[in-house]
């Protein structure tokens, strides 16, 4: 017996297998990457509020730690993120973007922890996307999201992917502080109001079915819980001071996503029906993305985007995009440095106001990416939400180092 044991242990194949497994597991197990950035914002008009500044510098970091084991069936991801801003105390903030364990089964997957998940198809506004809160201090485009605690079960069936989410904790939207720019210096994020007595501990539920049939992508979703978009309620503090308090409603929201690929065009539509205790409404965002490949006998690709936004509540509602037209161009040179230029314009047909966005980026060397962004706001009507940004035109320069 002892002899057999000894044989087992010293058998070269067994030895190699154990050692090999150990080392290969080591090689696969852990990975670190991420980026560090320095950003400058340069404003060329006097600010609306005396507390705001003309130039604003900041630094940010987002390392990513990743472990996987059990032949890639289990993984753990940790992505903290932090920004330090020269003036804005609200923009100086930390967040855990991801801290989650993913387990992959045969035709199912569980994702437990803090995560980000995106729903939707359109480019200029993400109506359907509701799982995560926007990290609005990062950028006015609301593309940055805060990590959301969740238990997510995903089932892969022949008739599509089903996702079930339990979202046990609510994250408040971030807003620029009194010294932050662009921003609304009157928002007081320390005094939010919740419709639910459970406040941020209200447990939200979400469901989504998504499927691709040939050239068509379709998705239906349902959300039951605290609205991610707050209503800003003015409150008079004293004779000269007004502050805006974020009010978070309870909502039930149906989401519909449709995307069809016709030749060189992608037709996109997002629709929501939102039920709440103030005013139920429908809203939609839809349009077309047309791509030209290899323009002017070069490697460059040029995309054309046209979208329209509508909200049933109209001008009196809380949406910035109630009757707005969007136009955009995306130029990718497909060169060694991945040079890209994006131009976007939104025009409010009710308020006659315009926002222009310009983004240009390229790689420098192997690890550095440089971006120059411009944001320009044109608004003349007092009741237009954009009116508060009318002096906040700026150029933003970002240098990111990736490792």
- Residue closer to other proteins (CB basis): 276 or 334: 334
Number of chain positions touching other proteins (CB under 8 A): 50
Q: Which of 83, 91, 145, 202 binds other proteins (CB under 8 A)?
A: 145
Give residues 194-233 in contact with other proteins (rule: CB under 8 A): 210, 212, 214-215, 217
Query: What's the chain's length in residues?
Result: 403
Residues with Cβ within 8 Å of residue 323, at least 6 apart in sequence: 309, 310, 311, 314, 315, 348, 349, 350
Instruction: Supply angle C-alpha 352, 270, 311, rounded to 5.
Output: 40
Cα–Cα distances in Å, from 383 out to 56, 354, 392?
Answer: 28, 14, 17
Q: Which of 91, 116, 208, 245 binds other proteins (CB under 8 A)?
A: 116
Give residues 352-371 in contact with other proteins (rule: CB under 8 A): 363, 366-367, 369
Token readout for 385 is 């939400």
- Residue closer to other proteins (CB basis): 35 or 196: 35
Other Cβ atoms less than 10 A from the Cβ of 396: the count is: 18
d(CA 124, CA 305): 9
d(CA 38, CA 168): 34
Q: Which stretch binds other proteins (CB under 8 A): 45-53, 238-246, 317-325, 332-340?
A: 332-340
SS3 sequence of 118-160: CCCCCCCCCCCCCCCCECCCCCCCCCCECCEEEEEEEEEECCE
Task: Please return the burial class of 382, using the count of CB atoms within 10 Å of its CB with bins 0-12, 13-18 and 19+.
Answer: exposed
Q: Which stretch binds other proteins (CB under 8 A): 116-124, 182-190, 198-206, 233-241?
A: 116-124
- Residue closer to other proteins (CB basis): 280 or 337: 337
- Does 29 participate in binding other proteins (rule CB under 8 A)? no
- Does 403 participate in binding other proteins (rule CB under 8 A)? yes
Q: Which stretch binds other proteins (CB under 8 A): 5-13, 15-23, 283-291, 345-353?
A: 283-291
Give residues 48-67 in contact with other proteins (rule: CB under 8 A): 66
DSSP state of 383: T
- Does 285 participate in binding other proteins (rule CB under 8 A)? no
- Does 156 participate in binding other proteins (rule CB under 8 A)? yes
Residue numbers at the binding site for other proteins (CB under 8 A): 33, 35, 66, 75, 102, 104, 106-107, 109, 116-118, 120-121, 143, 145, 154, 156, 161, 210, 212, 214-215, 217, 259, 261, 263-266, 289-291, 293-294, 297, 299, 301, 333-336, 338, 363, 366-367, 369, 400, 402-403
């Amino acid at each position: 017996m002892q002899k057999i044991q000894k044989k087992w242990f010293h058998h070269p194949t067994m030895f190699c297998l154990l050692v090999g497994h150990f080392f290969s597991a080591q090689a696969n197990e852990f990975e670190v990457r991420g980026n560090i950035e320095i950003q400058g914002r340069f404003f060329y008009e006097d600010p609306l509020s005396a507390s705001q500044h003309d130039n604003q510098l900041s630094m940010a970091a987002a390392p990513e730690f990743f472990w996987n084991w059990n032949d890639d069936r289990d993984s753990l991801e940790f992505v903290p993120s932090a920004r330090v801003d020269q003036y804005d105390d609200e923009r100086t903030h930390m967040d855990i973007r991801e801290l989650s364990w993913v387990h992959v089964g045969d035709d199912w997957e569980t994702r437990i922890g803090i995560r980000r998940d995106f729903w939707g198809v359109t480019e200029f506004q993400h109506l359907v996307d509701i799982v995560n809160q926007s990290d609005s201090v990062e950028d006015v485009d609301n593309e940055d999201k805060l990590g959301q605690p969740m238990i997510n079960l995903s089932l892969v069936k022949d008739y599509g992917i089903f996702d079930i989410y339990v979202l046990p904790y609510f994250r408040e939207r971030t807003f620029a502080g009194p010294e932050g720019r662009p921003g609304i210096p009157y928002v007081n994020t320390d005094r939010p109001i919740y419709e639910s007595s459970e406040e941020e501990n209200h447990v939200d539920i979400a469901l989504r079915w998504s499927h691709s049939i040939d050239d068509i992508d379709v998705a239906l979703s349902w959300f039951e819980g605290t609205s991610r978009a707050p209503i800003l309620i003015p409150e008079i503090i004293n004779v000269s001071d007004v502050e805006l308090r974020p009010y978070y409603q309870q909502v039930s929201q149906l989401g519909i996503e449709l995307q069809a690929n016709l030749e060189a065009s992608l037709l996109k539509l997002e629709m929501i029906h939102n039920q709440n205790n103030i005013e139920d409404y429908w809203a939609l965002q839809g349009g077309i993305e047309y791509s030209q490949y290899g323009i002017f006998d070069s490697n460059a690709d040029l995309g054309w985007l046209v979208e329209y936004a509508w909200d049933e509540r109209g001008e009196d509602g809380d949406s910035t995009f109630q009757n707005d037209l969007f136009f955009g161009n995306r130029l990718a040179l497909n060169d060694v440095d991945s040079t890209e230029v994006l131009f976007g314009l939104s025009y409010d047909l009710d308020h006659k106001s315009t926002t222009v966005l310009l983004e240009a980026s390229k790689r420098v060397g192997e690890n550095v990416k440089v971006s120059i962004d411009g944001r320009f706001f044109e608004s003349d009507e007092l009741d237009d939400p954009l009116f508060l940004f009318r002096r906040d035109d700026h150029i933003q320069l970002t240098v990111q180092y990736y490792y």
